[in-house]
Amino acid sequence: MNWFTPPCVMGVLNVTPDSFSDGGAYLAPDDARARLREIVDGGAAICDVGAESTRPGSAPVSPEEQRRRLDPVFEVMRSGASGAISIDTSHAAVASAALSAGAVLVNDVTAGRADPDLFGVTADADAAICLVHMLGEPRTMQDAPRYDDVVAEVARFLEERVGAAVAAGIDERRILVDPGIGFGKRLEDNLALLRGLPTLAGLGCPIVVGVSRKSMFATLLGRDVDERMAGSVAAGLLAVDAGAAVLRVHDVRETVDALAVWTAMRSAE
């Protein structure tokens, strides 16, 4: 994973009409290309590109439509001007097209449960994969999530999915795990998982955390989606302190700066 020196930033590019934070902003090819440049110039180690919103209540998008939306980004990737790219999809066909265009990471919020071919496509390309915990599916996941011990249950789930990915031929050294902040979780579940990152680190895989602008900041702070940057950066830094290796964020430059300060302070110890 040559894109990867922890802690680092994964910038988000959603080529969708309906993502909770940047929906509609990057559907036009020129806007998508400009956002990609902004993410690279902002200092992100990798850009996570997706064409299907997974926000609570969202409807599925066909692999054909995802590929159509992503085509302009694939073009930039083929020209070699994109930096490292992660493909945010649960569909093997979309992952395969992105990997052919040069993507280095498959980011699957279903952890390989939605499409039985996803692990195989990833293994064949010798690519990395990020396995995310989600309770249920986006349409209904926030209806009434309940856990007895959220950290233990998420750790058990991720351990099982890491085993499934390895059994399908994915190199264990190329597997990242993510507790799935906001994917079927109440505020207290999200906070417990952020506190519990040291337990998830026991799995031995780098941890990705995506808190950026999520609704936990509406509950905690009463902020609209475009007013959640300070809360997101603060939670991201605390996540890194607790063991996160990659922060998936919308506010790239601000998070890169915050991480630079964190790194300087920690290396002075």
Pick out residues in 180-199 that bind ligand HH2 (CB under 6 A).
180-181
Question: Smallest Cα–Cα separation from 236: which of 226, 227, 223, 245?
Answer: 245
Query: Cβ 69 to ligand HH2, closest distance in Å?
Result: 12
142 makes contact with ligand HH2 (CB under 6 A): no
Q: How far is the CB of 191 from ligand HH2 (least distance, A)?
A: 15
Q: What is d(CA 219, CA 217) in angstroms, rounded to the nearest whole number?
A: 5
Q: Catalytic: 214? A: yes
Cα–Cα distance measured from residue 75 to residue 233, given in angstroms and rounded to the nearest whole number:
32
CB of 76 to ligand HH2, least distance (A): 19
Q: What's the start-to-end Cα distance of the chain, in Å?
A: 27
From 69, 248, 253, 266, active-site residue: 248
User: Which residue's CB is nearer to ligand HH2, number 12 or number 259?
Assistant: 12
Instruction: Decide if 185 is catalytic.
Output: no
251 binds ligand HH2 (CB under 6 A): no
The C-alpha atoms of residue 256 and residue 69 are separated, in whole angstroms, by 28
Q: Among residues 19, 7, 64, which one has the least CA distance to residue 248? A: 7
C-alpha distances in angstroms, 167 versus 66, 140, 175?
28, 30, 12
Among the listed residues 151, 154, 208, 256, the single contact to ligand HH2 using CB under 6 A: 208
By the rule CB under 6 A, 130 interacts with ligand HH2: yes
**What is the distance between the alpha carbons of residues 158 and 243, in angstroms, rounded to a whole number?**
16
Q: Which of 36, 40, 45, 55 binds ligand HH2 (CB under 6 A)?
A: 55
- Considering the candidates 33, 213, 214, 228, report the single residue annotated as catalytic: 214
Choose between 16 and 122: whose C-beta lies nearer to ligand HH2.
16
Q: Tell me the DSSP string of 55-71.
A: STTPPP--HHHHHHHHH
**Under the criterion CB under 6 A, does residue 54 sit at the interface with ligand HH2?**
yes
Query: Does residue 16 interact with ligand HH2 by CB under 6 A?
Result: yes
Q: Which residue is nearest to ligand HH2 (CB)?
A: 210
Give the separation between CA 30 and CA 15, rounded to whole angstroms.
11
Q: Which residue, chain included where needed, has tokens 């906070």?
A: 191
Q: Does 21 bind ligand HH2 (CB under 6 A)?
A: yes
CA 228/CA 218 separation, integer angstroms: 8
Any idea which residue has 């950290």 for tokens?
A: 151
> Considering the complex, what minimum distance in angstroms separates the CB of residue 82 from ligand HH2?
18
- Indicate which single residue of 87, 88, 112, 240 sits in contact with ligand HH2 (rule: CB under 6 A): 88
Q: Which residues are catalytic?
A: 214, 248
Binding footprint of ligand HH2 on the chain (CB under 6 A): 12, 14, 16, 19-21, 50, 53-55, 88, 107, 109, 130, 132, 178, 180-181, 208, 210, 248
